[in-house]
Structure 1
Amino acid sequence: MKTIAFPLKSAWESIIARPVADSSTLMARVKTVLEEVQQQGDAAVQKYTQLFDGVVLPEFIVTEEEIQEAVALLDDDLKKAIETAAANIRAFHANQLMADPVIETMPGIQCWRKSVGIEKVGLYIPGGSAPLFSTILMLGIPASIAGCKEVILCSPPDKSGKLHPAILFAAQLVGIRKIFKIGGVQAIGAMAYGTESVPAVYKIFGPGNQYVTAAKQLVQMDGLAIDMPAGPSEVCVLADDTAVPAFVAADLLSQAEHGPDSQVILVSTSAAIIDQVNAELEKQLSALPRKDIAAIALSNSRAVIMNTIEEAIELVNAYAAEHLIIASNNAESLAEKIVNAGSVFIGHYSPESVGDYASGTNHTLPTNAYARMYSGVSVDSFVKKITFQKLTREGLSSIAGTVEIMAEAEGLTAHARAVSIRTK
């Protein structure tokens, strides 16, 4: 990682910039695929599944027999781990769906909100270099709690036309039975527009590569909802001189191994800690199976030495990381000053990996500084809030004058008359 010492504030913008790729050609290619899926349905999905995944599939849907076969194949220890993670995720998310109180704004006027599950949602689960079965728990469990009536799942098949057993086990564990062996842009198109096999949904969730991300952005322009803007995974570590260098290096590498376009940032008030972390990075990197990927990500990453912890926190808030780890004996106090982050990991024994898998919080988080204005996925992501109001005759009479005066002032006489016809 490149080390930057005591940067002037005018240089911060360049320090916190994410790697940027030219998206114009990418968007044009993705749009072509989406248009074919919209116009040709299953035929286009089959064409691109053969082209991109190297397999010919006459049927995309996963059968019950395939699900049961996957359950039988999966190692018992992995099953137990998935079940433990699911229980924690369910416990954390279950309390997010709470009834709103009825508020009487004036005598005879009652207003309230009701959470209603989005009827049809689609989940995209990457399955290429790493089958992200943990994401099924992160999306399927809040969808279930929210009461979504139809949940479908798409994930790319392997060369034999199958999905990873852990993906199928996790899906059936959270109650998802409409599972399709479709990946990439064609999966997003199928869920957005519907095909002969795949029902159209109202909102699409899930991470993916740059093609999937571009596809989600394009279908959003056609009126479909998506979970959030998302890009490559990232982590920022805020470390003082009490940090454990080996722990910090391991945390940085845990994100760097996601992909060559991932980014990790270390912000510290201690030059000695940064030197020790860099030494640990070299040592630990050599032992990773995905070391080539992680090495490229590290080349896009940097360590920054700041004068004071206050300046370090200011820089961290400006970066607005997807994941923020606070490696300090004083981590809890420092965490109170964080205003921009997707998810915060407090102290030496809170690695980002636990949030990725099993602590209970959701790992579908805003990247690319969107944590400044977006939250991570929660049960709220799977519901819409409908407002209700109920007025008695007396309640309407008490507010009639207010509405009539405001409506007439805006030149909307019919609005005023809708009130006066009831009161006069």
Structure 2
Amino acid sequence: MTPEPSLTGMPASGWRQYEIEQRLHELLASDPPLHTGWPDTLWPVLPDKALSASRAAMSQFAHLNGFVKPSGLDVIEAELLAMVRDHLGVPEDGATTLTVGGTESNFLAVKGALFKARENGGVTGQPNMVIPETAHPSFDKASEELGIDVRRIPVGKEFRADPEAMANQIDENTVLLVASTPNYTHGTLDPVEDLAALAQTHDLWFHIDACVGGCLLPALKRVAGESSTTPFDYPGVTSVSADLHKFGFTPTGISTLSVNSSELIRHHSFSIDVASSWPFRPYRRTGFTGSRSGAVLAGAWATLVALGQDGYEQIAQEIVSGADIFAKGLSTIDGFELVAPHESGIIVFTSTDPQCQIERVANVLERNGWPAMLAVSPPRLQFLLSPLPPHYYEQFVEAIRVAANEVRTGVAIDGAELTTYGA
């Protein structure tokens, strides 16, 4: 049971360190145990090695601000950027910007596309972007701020973007084409190669939202023995967003936007000089935010160096093995099946049995202490997978089996409440 808040305002007297630690331990202990809490609805569980390394680094740099970097933190950021570029295959003349999350990364891509189109004189009317209906809401958020129409296009088989349908919606005022690898809604990869060719034909900024899979896909390909193709190997790809704080397993609060040419950075940068209006000194920022936690930068750097390529490959193998165990186990529950193939860390399933509605299964899972992210179109449950031993996946399958039996026997009669994503 989650403890009730005990503070209704600033305490009159500061707490002793022991009291602070005691309260924090109490709150941490209220979280579900790993064996029931691991199928996180939004974030994968951090491996012990990554968690330990990042905690140590964050404590050492907790007092620093990444806005004005001392020399040591400046080196950390430079090395972190180099590792990200290497991992994502960013071209030599490309560049990467650190952001606080995928929403900022995608926002900067939208801003860059709009500003570049304006600069080239390619927008004579109301600008628009063409995106699959499975694209993340951050694009709608950016469109609202920047005054761009959003054209969400129905997807095709296995919930993948439909290049032909998207092509039919491109006009002279289209500034951006978007794909996801994978889409968050169903976990499948959009046809990047076809969409890159489409973008090239129309001379459009083509952005790949790889916030979920960007850090995982390269390792998945290596463990599967596939070629080391990266998004930037396709000539039409302009930019790629990839969260470090999802399958990069870093502390929360850091993502990336990479562009195929460093020249494009100016489209998501801001500057002001003293003569303009601000009587201090020239100001320049790349990205949207100003201050940034030095602790998060150091924690991300420590995570990547602690894991290395072999660490990410081991994680990828464990996720693939876990997904296989889960899928096989799920197939032994009558009426249950995957909604789409597992391709990059997201697994989505449903029940086809009218006597065992997935909404009610979600209700029982949550009542029994298992988090359940209920989604619509079609009704389904979705989870981000984690690098955990097989018995955790086996326990989760058993929890689903128990929930299904309870629904079928009438123990659970209510459906789960559809909560707001991001609330």
TM over 0.5: no
Scaled to the shorter chain, the TM-score interval is under 0.3
The structure that is helix-richer by fraction is 1
Larger radius of gyration: 1
